[in-house]
């Protein structure tokens, strides 16, 4: 699960950065505010890569997905990108857990065979 979720989070890191560049063009938003919010979100996406397998890591990932969708208020394309990454996050968590279960099952079978 860690590999799939981390890949999704690193992709989000770049998307958040690009959304910050787009948001800078909005004259009603202060550049310092845009980069403060984007910087926090980008740092959170990188930190979550190491926290995915810990308790609450997946829930924080879902919170980040929700924040990406809500950021569509300022950058409308983020409604779509947020939804795409929320779907990728779901797939990463769902299939990552299945892969982890299969690995554990194969390891137990190999240990029993020896």
What does the pLDDT look like over 49-107, one tens digit per residue?
999 989 999 999 999 999 999 999 999 999 999 999 999 999 999 999 999 999 999 99
Residues 49, 31: Cα–Cα separation, whole Å: 27
Record the pTM: 0.88
Q: Which residues of 56-80 are buried (b: 16+ CB within 10 A; e: fewer)?
A: ebbeebeebbebbbebbebbeebee
Match 């890949």 to its residue by tokens: 7
Match 């990932």 to its residue by tokens: 61
Residue 1 has pLDDT above 90, yes or no: no
What would the pLDDT profile of 98-113 be if each residue is shown by its tens digit?
999 999 999 999 999 8
* Whether the Cβ atoms of residue 3 and residue 50 lie closer than 8 Å to each other: no
Q: Give the per-residue pLDDT at 114.
A: 84
Share the mean pLDDT of the chain. 94
């Amino acid at each position: 699960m860690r590999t799939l979720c981390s890949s999704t989070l690193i992709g989000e890191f770049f998307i958040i950065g690009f959304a910050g560049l787009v948001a800078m063009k909005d004259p009603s938003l202060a550049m310092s505010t845009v980069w403060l919010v984007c910087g926090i979100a980008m740092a959170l996406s990188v930190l979550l890569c190491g926290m995915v397998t810990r308790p609450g890591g997946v829930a924080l990932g879902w919170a980040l997905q929700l924040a990406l969708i809500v950021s569509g208020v300022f950058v409308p394309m983020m409604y779509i990108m947020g939804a795409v990454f929320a779907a990728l996050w779901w797939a990463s968590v769902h299939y990552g857990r299945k892969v982890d279960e299969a690995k554990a099952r194969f390891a137990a079978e190999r240990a029993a065979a020896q």
